[in-house]
Amino acid sequence: MKILALEPYYGGSHQAFLDGWHERSRHEWTLFTLPAHHWKWRMRHAAVSFAAQLEEYVKKSNAQADWDCLITTSMLNLAEFRGLAPPQLRGLPAVVYFHENQLTYPVQCEDRRDLHFAMTHLVSIRAADSVWFNSAFHRDEFFEAADRLVRRMPDDSLRPIMERAKKIAQVAHPGIERPARSRTSRRRGPLKILWAARWEFDKNPETFFEAIEILKQRGIPFRLNVVGEQFSDVPEIFAKARDRFRDEIDRWGYQPTRDAYQAALTEADVFVSTANHEFFGLSVVEAIAAGARPLLPRRLSYPELLAPVEQELGADGKRSAAENPFFYDGHAESLADRLESLSHRLERDGSLQTPEEPDPQAAMERFYWESRAAAMDQGLEKVMENTSES
């Protein structure tokens, strides 16, 4: 097939997703992208920008615009694009991929949420032939919030959109690059702890640093890598933590290159998440694939990511899935207890993995792009098949 891909925010995870898929796809792709800044402007204006670019492209190349389908993300108002695009493109079967959404994306004050962006999602869904979410957790959370929004409207005109959306929605996990190197053995010494997330309130850094403070008070030796993307409004806890744990810090802040980020992953004994919100958890998957042991709260998409491990533990007969050693209860005290236990195990055995535990690193192989690109190609072909039949 010939695929037209429109990415209004070509940077970060959006860029990694598009590049990872199209570079391994068996189909032929044409990409149109816009820079990854001013996200609100991108959502407002991407349809106009892409329509103008494609009109010029078709004129200059004398192309017949013989693409078979369109792939875009939830940052494009697909309905607007269909109305503004060259006539030969308006009827292309379209898939909208949701990396995130503006109906459940965390805001510090719910009253300040701009529901116009949520409406952009709903009208795009109405114009789409299929809607893909990056996790089942994300899909379910979105539809729960959308149902609440629809009930607030003065009439039921949006309800048919929601009923149709649930029928055409599916889950398509993103892929990751196979690690250039991964850690297969561990050394004695202080436990190396990695926290890698956006430096924002929804990633709950307070709980992480509270747990680290407990470790320090208990006299447990450790080393810290605290990395992630930062924006203008960084929570104050980071400056305080940098001063408090300055003697334990190895890496701090945004890693400027992919190699530096990968090194932070492979150096880690344990990857910790304290997030209160996560649509998928790309850094979690990448860290585990690089050999870090996960320690995650049992919420969000995390049970989905570790589903093979959960199943193996549940079938064990000796312990239930609820006793999964890669989860903690979400509180700082519990996190500190688990980290202390792992520190003692590393000191005693020189390893964090026990013979009876399943290997979480192996469970991440299903997310490598070699597998995910083929699966998404198949999903796209199924969409085309269903479209041609309807």
Q: Model-level pTM? A: 0.94
pLDDT number for residue 319: 53
When comparing pLDDT for 1 and 65, which is higher? 1
Least trusted range by pLDDT, from 34-43, 49-58, 87-96, 344-353: 344-353
Alpha-carbon span 210 to 220, nearest angstrom = 14
Alpha-carbon span 193 to 295, nearest angstrom = 10
Which pLDDT band, with edges at 50, 70 and 90, does 84 fall under? very high
Assess whether pLDDT exceeds 80 at residue 187: no
pLDDT digits 0-9 by tens, 216-256: 999 999 999 999 999 888 999 999 999 999 999 999 999 99
Indicate the average pLDDT of the chain.
92
Q: Average of pLDDT values for 85-89?
A: 92
Q: Average of pLDDT values for 27-31?
A: 96
| DSSP for residue 178 | P
**Tokens 């998404």 sit on residue:** 376
pLDDT number for residue 91: 92
Beta partners for residue 66, in sequence order: none
pLDDT number for residue 62: 63
pLDDT digits 0-9 by tens, 297-311: 999 999 999 999 988
pLDDT digits 0-9 by tens, 112-158: 778 899 999 999 999 999 999 999 999 999 999 999 999 988 988 88
pLDDT number for residue 247: 97
pLDDT digits 0-9 by tens, 192-219: 999 999 999 999 999 999 999 999 999 9
Assess whether pLDDT exceeds 60 at residue 322: no
Alpha-carbon span 31 to 19, nearest angstrom = 10
Confirm if 280 and 134 have CB atoms less than 8 A apart: yes
Least trusted range by pLDDT, from 75-84, 279-288, 320-329: 320-329
pLDDT number for residue 372: 98
Return all residues near 343 (Cβ < 8 A) that are at least 6 apart. Answer: 190, 191, 215, 220, 221, 222
Tokens of 228: 């992630």
End-to-end CA gap in the chain: 19
Assess whether pLDDT exceeds 50 at residue 369: yes
Proportion of the chain above pLDDT 70, given as a percent = 94
Assess whether pLDDT exceeds 80 at residue 8: yes
